[in-house]
Amino acid sequence: MAPVAKKARTENPKRFEDYTIAELAELIERNAALEEELKHKAKKFEEELKQKADELKNIAPLPDETVAERVKTNIAKQFSHQMLPENDLPEKDAKKIRGTVGKELVAVIPNVSEGILKELGLKFEDYRKSQTKLSNGFFSSKVMKPLPNGASLQLARGMDFKYVKAQGELKVTTQYKFVAKPKPKAKPKKEKKDATAEDAEEPQEEVQEEAEEGGEEGGEEGGEPAAADDEDQEEQPAAVADDEEDEPKEIARATPKAAPKEEVASGTWVRLIGLQGAEHLNGRAGEVVGFDEATERYRVRVPAQSKDGAAQAGSNDSGESNDDEVKRVKRVNFEII
């Protein structure tokens, strides 16, 4: 075991009787100088305090409106500091923020005057009762804490305010909850551009193209020229031209057409009606075999008739073709049977 080191002896303080008269006189002079210095510093400190007090008197108090905004900011900060994620909470409190009630938050603001209460939109007829306000309407921005996984901690809708008039203290209580990450919104479908004046100038050419298309189909079937589209029952080009002259602005503002949609399922049996370029097929029965989105027409297969003139699949008219025909027709040119 190592030996314990001895403590060094301290010299005994000098006894009073050991001081000489000259040393005592020096100590008395030094003490008097220190007293004089302390008096001078105390006087200077008093003068500074008086100057500060005069400056504070000349400063105008902040308006209640400005103080009320600072009170709101202070309440929001107190709430934000208390909004802890569930990993930092006890198990009991973690269940609360995921439940319907939430975990309680408390903010206390001292020295609140009745004028500030008025600017906060609070009016207490009975100071023993609390007043409720909506958090979204009270704060200028939403009080929340984002979480790394996209979720967030948010205040409840209601807040209770209680004012202690004797102390000028405002107490605010509310709750906060865990809000899961919002689901992504469905992407909106692309809308077609609005019709322009150029679109309104070309309706006649479109109708003529449809008429030529119908004539080619009619020529393939019966060799008859077609003056209009086989399936067209819409207004004549002249009427469209008149509409252009009378109401060009309305045409220019026309709403975009809806995307073509197949309304009649394939395999449905229908009866052809109102055909102009292929009138011999009117009344004939056929089967829907598909839909052409480019032309917005249905493909209908018309069965060939037997040699004795009896129509197949319920048809009551005769035809010259010996093979099944597939026609492209609009929805208005057939009816479901």
Band (pLDDT 50/70/90 cuts) for residue 119 is very high
Average pLDDT value for residue range 63-80: 93
Strand, coil or helix: what is 104?
Answer: strand
Q: Which residue has the higher pLDDT, 38 or 318?
A: 38
Residue 116 has pLDDT above 90, yes or no: yes
Least confident of 28-32, 82-86, 97-101, 124-128: 124-128
Question: Would you state the structure tokens that stand for residue 263, as one six-digit string?
Answer: 């309304």
Residue 253 clears pLDDT 70, i.e. is over it: no
Quick: pLDDT tens for 260-274: 555 788 889 999 998
Q: Give me the pLDDT at residue 182, please.
A: 82
What is the per-residue pLDDT for 7? Answer: 55
Beta strands 103-109; 169-179: pairing state: antiparallel
What is the distance between the alpha carbons of residues 38 and 43, in angstroms, rounded to a whole number?
9
Q: Is residue 244 scored above 50 in pLDDT?
A: no
Least confident window among 125-139, 249-263, 292-306: 249-263
Q: Which residue has the higher pLDDT, 15 or 176?
A: 176
What does the block give as tokens for 264?
Answer: 């009649």
Q: Which residues of 178-202 are buried (b: 16+ CB within 10 A; e: fewer)?
A: beeeeeeeeeeeeeeeeeeeeebee
Report percent pLDDT > 70 for the chain.
Answer: 69
Task: Give residue 308's pLDDT.
Answer: 56
As a whole number of angstroms, the distance between CA 169 and CA 127 comes to 11
* Of 165 and 238, more confident: 165
* Distance (Å, whole) CA 93 – CA 99: 10
pLDDT score of 9 more than 60: no
Q: Which residue has the higher pLDDT, 237 or 256?
A: 256
Rounded CA separation 211/227 (Å): 6
Please give the average per-residue pLDDT across 215-220, as a whole number. Answer: 44
160 pLDDT more than 60: yes
Give the tens place of pLDDT for each residue, 203-217. Answer: 444 444 454 445 444
- Show the CA angle centred on residue 228, arms to residues 225 and 234, nearest 5°: 160
Judged by DSSP in three states, 190 sits in coil
Question: Residue for token digits 């902040």?
Answer: 62
**Which whole-number Å values give the CA distances from 99 to 65, 71, 86, in the listed order?**
37, 30, 12
Asked if the model's pLDDT at residue 200 lies above 70, the reply is no
pLDDT at 8 over 50: yes
SS3 of residue 294 by DSSP? coil
Distance CA 87, CA 136 (A): 27
pLDDT category of residue 231 using cuts at 50, 70 and 90: very low
pLDDT in tens, 270-323: 999 988 878 888 889 999 999 998 889 999 999 887 655 555 444 444 333 446
Compute the average pLDDT of residues 73-79.
Answer: 95
Exposed / middle / buried, residue 170 (Cβ in 10 Å: 0-12, 13-18, 19+): buried
The answer to whether the CB of 272 falls within 8 A of the CB of 329 is yes
**Mean of pLDDT values over 50-59:** 83
Instruction: Please list, residue by residue across 12-26, b when 16 or more beta carbons sit within 10 angstroms of its beta carbon and e when fewer do.
Output: eeeeeeeeeeeeeee
The angle formed by the CA atoms of residues 23, 27 and 32, to the nearest 5 degrees, is 150
16-31 pLDDT, tens per residue?
Answer: 888 899 988 999 999 9
Compute CA distances 135 → 52, 140, 161, whole Å.
40, 9, 11
Burial (Cβ within 10 Å: 0-12, 13-18, ≥19) of residue 133: middle
Percentage of the chain modeled with pLDDT above 90: 35
- Are 312 and 324 a contacting pair, CB within 8 Å? no
